[in-house]
Amino acid sequence: MADERSRCPVCRWDGLDAPAWTGISPSDEICPCCGTQFGYHDGAGGASVRASSHGELRTRWIARGAVWSSLPAPAGWDARTQLVDLGTEGNLVRAGEVRVVTTDVDLVSGLLWGAGVSAVGEVPQPDGTVVLRVDLPPGGLAALEAAVGDRWLVAVATVDDGLGGWREHARVVRAGRIVVWPPWVPLGPVGAEEVVVEIDPGPSFGHGAHPTTRLCLEALDRLGPVGRSVLDVGCGSGVLAIAAVLLGAPHAVAVDIDPAAVEVTRANAERNGVADRIDAGLDLSGVEGLFDIVVANIGAAALRELAPALVARVAPGGTLVLSGLLDPPPADLAPCFGPLELVADERTDGWTALALR
């Protein structure tokens, strides 16, 4: 069997039955299986490194669009320091990247969502692989590496933030009676029973198109927030809190650890004419009172961490809606929220929302 350094780290092909394959070397070489080209570059754009199973450093150079390499980093090259120092300049931001074969896109995307990222972009490559590009979660590169394990390598690249690029693909989204409308696209016909929520997410998560957001919106519609208090944890653009108020909740509290999300929530509340009924802030621990409906669309890891705080804010007879969860959700998650019990499990497009009461 070929040793680790002769394997292609993209498709894991080891060159057996192909005598001409010599593994990765300082000269450019192409994997005969997946066509990925490897090269030993100067690292001018930075590199990410991690230990392989045999203790050597595996390196993915970012410079010049280079692809995966299992070569040791050059002597004295401190790739992690280089990555930390990349910083932000103009529209450039640090992003995590994982290169996968197409059959692994859904699996690895799910793992990255579980790490706490707020977006996953798919960038097809000429060699047929796909680069999954994500924002860095609170745990940074280490959190991404822990999420994907040893099978895939994680890099940090400096990329354009692309905040405006998705807008040309935005669309009106319907979830139950709720119509989420990005104001730069045509609204189209609206039914008499439908409720329009005008949302510009800016740099925050929550346009309404993601399955978890739709699941939470549908849950709010089913629960009927008329006359009920609502807490939105991880509010992003504020779409859930604003929808709840427009559906009849007299007041909603929205919290997010991202200051930009809090500002966007306030701006969207203003554009929907409900700024006086939305209280947006950063600190869940500072939220007082109990709520008839608590919604937390923040992913499994954050839900586990916040379980006691979330349960403590559900009023007697109230409902806790959890999402940001893959299908199937972790089996050990719902028990974290005792004494609340699972009453609904809704799934769509590979994602899940749970309701507990």
Whether 336 and 229 map to the same domain: the answer is yes
Whether 121 and 176 map to the same domain: the answer is no
Whether 249 and 106 map to the same domain: the answer is no
pLDDT in tens, 26-43: 334 444 444 444 433 333
pLDDT score recorded for residue 201 = 79
With 80 as the cut, is the pLDDT of residue 168 above it?
no
Can you give the residue range of the structural domain that contains 37? 4-160
pLDDT score recorded for residue 4 = 40
pLDDT in tens, 340-350: 999 999 999 88
Kindly indicate the confidence band of residue 96, based on its pLDDT and cuts at 50, 70 and 90: confident
**Token output for 326:** 């893959």
**Which amino acid type is present at position 188?**
G
Residue bearing the bigger pLDDT, 251 or 156: 251
| Top-confidence range, 19-33, 93-107, 236-250 | 236-250
Whether 331 and 312 map to the same domain: the answer is yes
pLDDT score recorded for residue 113 = 84
Whether 140 and 256 map to the same domain: the answer is no
Q: What is the mean pLDDT of the chain?
A: 75
Of the residues 97, 131, 160, which one is the last residue of a structural domain? 160
Whether 171 and 109 map to the same domain: the answer is no
Of the residues 160, 192, 218, which one is the last residue of a structural domain? 160
Q: Which of 5-19, 172-186, 188-202 has the least mean pLDDT?
A: 5-19
Whether 195 and 289 map to the same domain: the answer is yes
Kindly indicate the confidence band of residue 208, based on its pLDDT and cuts at 50, 70 and 90: confident
**Which amino acid type is present at position 83?**
L
With 90 as the cut, is the pLDDT of residue 253 above it?
yes
pLDDT score recorded for residue 2 = 38
Cross-sheet strand order for the sheet of 173-175: 173-175, 178-181, 195-198
pLDDT score recorded for residue 162 = 52
Q: Which of 87-101, 209-223, 294-308, 323-337 has the least mean pLDDT?
A: 87-101
Whether 273 and 323 map to the same domain: the answer is yes
With 60 as the cut, is the pLDDT of residue 14 above it?
no
Whether 307 and 343 map to the same domain: the answer is yes
With 80 as the cut, is the pLDDT of residue 18 above it?
no
Residue bearing the bigger pLDDT, 56 or 269: 269
pLDDT score recorded for residue 294 = 98
Kindly indicate the confidence band of residue 160, based on its pLDDT and cuts at 50, 70 and 90: low
Contact status, residue 261 vs residue 237, Cβ threshold 8 Å: yes
With 70 as the cut, is the pLDDT of residue 272 above it?
yes
Of the residues 119, 134, 160, which one is the last residue of a structural domain? 160
Whether 296 and 309 map to the same domain: the answer is yes
Whether 248 and 153 map to the same domain: the answer is no
Phi and psi torsions of 123, nearest 5°: -115, 100
Query: Looking at residue 282, which CATH number applies to its domain?
Result: 3.40.50.150
pLDDT in tens, 56-69: 222 232 222 223 33
Number of domains in the chain: 2
Mean pLDDT of 122-136: 86
Whether 141 and 179 map to the same domain: the answer is no
Secondary structure of the chain in HEC code, one letter for each residue:
CCCHHHCCCCCCCCCCCCCCCCCCCCCCEECCCCCCEECCCCCCCCEEEEECCCCCEEEEECHHHCCEECCCCCCCCCHHHHHHCCCCECCEEEEEEEEECHHHHHHHHHHHHHCCCCCEEEEECCCCCEEEEEECCCCHHHHHHHHHCCCCCCEEEEEECCCCHHHHHCCCEEECCEEEECCCCCCCCCCCCCEEEECCCCCCCCCCCCHHHHHHHHHHHHHCCCCCEEEEECCCCCHHHHHHHHCCCCEEEEECCCHHHHHHHHHHHHHCCCHHHEEEECCHHHCCCCEEEEEEECCHHHHHHHHHHHHCCEEEEEEEEEEEEECCCCCCCHHHHCCCCEEEEEEECCEEEEEEC
Strand 342-348 relative to strand 351-356: parallel, antiparallel, unpaired? antiparallel
